[in-house]
């Protein structure tokens, strides 16, 4: 089941990769550092606002779907969700619109913030349907719609930058239109399911009580990732924000795509297993996922750190390369810790519905990160911000793992993670041994190819996460086709 879901989400992850890496490759060549820094600040503000006002609802839609389905209450569930969105959207538009209008900001920055506000409101409405598909196991539908939002929004955003004077506002205009297109396709079917029921205030209060701590947790968690950008703008300037955001995105995007892919499949399966079969069934699902996380994420983080310089030479514009290569290794390590914390150890708090504790821990980690940034930015520049992020994520991961075990002990496959670390060490030696001279693209391909080959050989030899069994299963699956042919 986990394997099928992981495969089902691959198209969406491919779209994430195209948009994530394409955004860095294209935007750092179309926008100067100052403009790219402005774009990064607006994007950070947009995500923080979305998490504060809408993520609680999206989390509740996913968490309570299985229970509503089991009890025949899906219509009331959806009606209550859309009613809650309407209230949250009104709050976002009123407060956000007033804030943009009254804030003493440049006109181009206000334009970007306005498009960002529109994009997040439309996106939040579409996310109710997307989370419903994901919770119901309609992986292909979810993956297809999300891919449409990402790819269409990215393409339109690049077009706006090239063809209009929108500048940093262009990507947000594209996001808004991409989300609207998917919404027009998907929303009617969900409204049809909910039409025979009215919003239930009691349900909405339950959803708020469950989801608000998750929103708070994600806000603080996102502050760990992007809060330093506002401090960099204050201590340094917007150009420094652009350099930092380019390097951060280059490394963090890879780790984020991997962990989001696994988390998309894991969370609904865990909840379904717990609700239908009990705690041990949920732990069995978690164990399989944790083993795969070690197999995939350990070499990804190490590889990013090892090829930071040639990767920057390929991915980002010339004005960004030195800064991006300097901070990417730190962010790769932070991304690994963030992924394990968010997409594995946080599940203990979600399953036990103790999301308030999760929010408190993320608040502590966010405050630690901000304090460390204030101390380190004047001394080390953007490298100080990256170091602060690593320390804060390390503290957050440790706290989540230790406290989460008291609520819902998730298995930690130390044997498999140790094997993955050993194979990663062998891969690192191979990458380091490859000469670094020549064009960046050639160096990157040779180092990445050598590292991947060595890691694959060592992972198979050590049978990390039982990967040899996957090859056997694939052969058995293909055998009937070969016989028939």
pLDDT in tens, 292-307: 999 999 999 999 999 9
Which of 411, 423, 390, 396 has the alpha carbon at shortest distance from 298? 423
For residues 384 and 245, the answer to whether their CB atoms sit within 8 Å is: no
Half-sphere exposure of 454 (CA within 13 A, CB side): 21
Mean pLDDT of 381-395: 92
Predicted pLDDT at 475: 67
3-state secondary structure of 412: coil
pLDDT of residue 443 exceeding 80, the answer is: yes
Question: Quick one: the chain helix, strand, coil %, rounded to 5?
Answer: 90, 0, 10
Which of 135, 118, 222 has the alpha carbon at shortest distance from 178? 118
Angular region, 410: left φ>0, alpha ψ -120 to 50, beta rest: beta
Predicted pLDDT at 485: 45
Q: What is the pTM of this model?
A: 0.70
pLDDT in tens, 143-201: 889 899 999 999 999 999 999 998 889 999 999 999 999 999 999 988 888 877 888 88
Break the chain into its structural domains and give their ranges. Answer: 2-412
Which residue bears the tokens 């943009």? 100
Predicted pLDDT at 160: 94
Contacts of 87 (CB under 8 A, 6+ apart): none
**449 or 33: which carries more pLDDT confidence?**
449
Burial 26-40 (b: 16+ CB within 10 A, else e): bbbebbbbebbbbbb
Provide the mean pLDDT of the chain: 86
Predicted pLDDT at 348: 87
Give the confidence band of 118 by pLDDT, cuts at 50, 70, 90: very high
Residue 468 CB neighbours (<10 A): 14
pLDDT of residue 483 exceeding 70, the answer is: no
Q: What is the DSSP string of 322-379?
A: HHHHHHHHHHHHHHHHHHHIIIIITHHHHHTT-HHHHHHHHHHHHHHHHHHHHHHHHH
Mean pLDDT of 337-349: 89
Mean pLDDT of 313-332: 86
Percent of the chain with pLDDT over 90: 36
Reading the block at residue 282, the tokens are 């949920």
Predicted pLDDT at 349: 87
Q: CA–CA separation, 229 vs 306, rounded Å?
A: 25
pLDDT of residue 323 exceeding 70, the answer is: yes
Between 260-274, 373-387, 397-411, 438-452, the lowest mean confidence (pLDDT) is in: 260-274
pLDDT of residue 344 exceeding 60, the answer is: yes
Mean pLDDT of 260-270: 77
Half-sphere exposure of 204 (CA within 13 A, CB side): 15
Predicted pLDDT at 474: 63
């Amino acid at each position: 089941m986990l394997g099928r879901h992981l495969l089902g989400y691959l198209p969406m992850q491919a779209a994430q990769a195209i948009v994530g890496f394409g955004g860095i490759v294209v935007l750092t060549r179309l926008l100067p550092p100052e403009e790219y820094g402005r774009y990064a600040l607006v994007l950070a503000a947009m995500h923080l606002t979305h998490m504060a006002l809408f993520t609680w609802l999206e989390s509740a839609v996913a968490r309570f779907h299985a229970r509503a389905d089991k009890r025949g209450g899906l219509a009331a569930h959806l009606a209550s969700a859309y009613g809650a969105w309407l209230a949250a959207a009104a709050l976002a538009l009123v407060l956000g619109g007033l804030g943009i209008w009254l804030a003493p900001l440049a006109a181009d920055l206000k334009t970007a913030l306005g498009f960002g506000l529109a994009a997040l409101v439309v996106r939040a409405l579409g996310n109710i349907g997307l989370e419903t598909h994901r919770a119901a196991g309609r992986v292909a539908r979810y993956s297809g719609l999300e891919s449409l939002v990402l790819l269409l929004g990215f393409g339109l955003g690049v077009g706006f930058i090239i063809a209009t004077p929108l500048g940093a506002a262009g990507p947000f205009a594209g996001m808004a239109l991409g989300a609207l297109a998917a919404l027009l396709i998907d929303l009617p079917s969900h409204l049809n399911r909910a039409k025979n029921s009215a919003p239930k205030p009691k349900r909405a209060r339950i959803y708020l009580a469950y989801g608000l701590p998750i929103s708070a947790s994600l806000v603080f968690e996102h502050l760990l990732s992007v809060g330093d950008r506002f401090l960099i703008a204050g201590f340094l300037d917007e150009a420094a924000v652009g350099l930092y955001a380019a390097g951060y995105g280059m490394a963090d995007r890879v780790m984020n795509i991997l962990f989001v892919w696994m988390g998309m499949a894991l969370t609904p399966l865990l909840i379904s297993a717990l609700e239908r079969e009990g705690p041990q069934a949920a732990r069995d699902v978690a164990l399989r996922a944790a083993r795969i996380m070690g197999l995939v994420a350990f070499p990804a983080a190490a590889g990013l750190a090892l090829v930071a310089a040639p990767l920057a030479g390929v991915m980002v514009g010339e004005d960004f390369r030195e800064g991006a290569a300097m901070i990417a290794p730190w962010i790769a390590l932070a991304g690994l810790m963030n992924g394990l914390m968010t997409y594995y150890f946080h599940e203990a708090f979600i399953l036990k519905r103790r999301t308030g504790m999760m929010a408190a821990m993320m608040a502590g980690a966010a405050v630690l990160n901000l304090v460390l940034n204030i101390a380190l930015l004047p001394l080390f520049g953007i490298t100080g911000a990256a170091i602060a992020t690593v320390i804060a994520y390390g503290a957050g991961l440790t706290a989540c793992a230790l406290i989460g075990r008291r609520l819902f002990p998730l298995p930690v496959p130390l044997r498999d993670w140790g094997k993955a670390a050993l194979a990663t060490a062998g891969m690192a030696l191979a990458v380091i041994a490859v000469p670094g001279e020549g064009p960046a693209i050639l160096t990157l391909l040779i180092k990445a190819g050598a590292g991947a080959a060595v890691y694959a050989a060592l992972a198979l030899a050590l049978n990390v996460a039982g990967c040899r069994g996957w090859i056997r299963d694939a052969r058995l699956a293909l055998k009937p086709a070969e016989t028939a042919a």
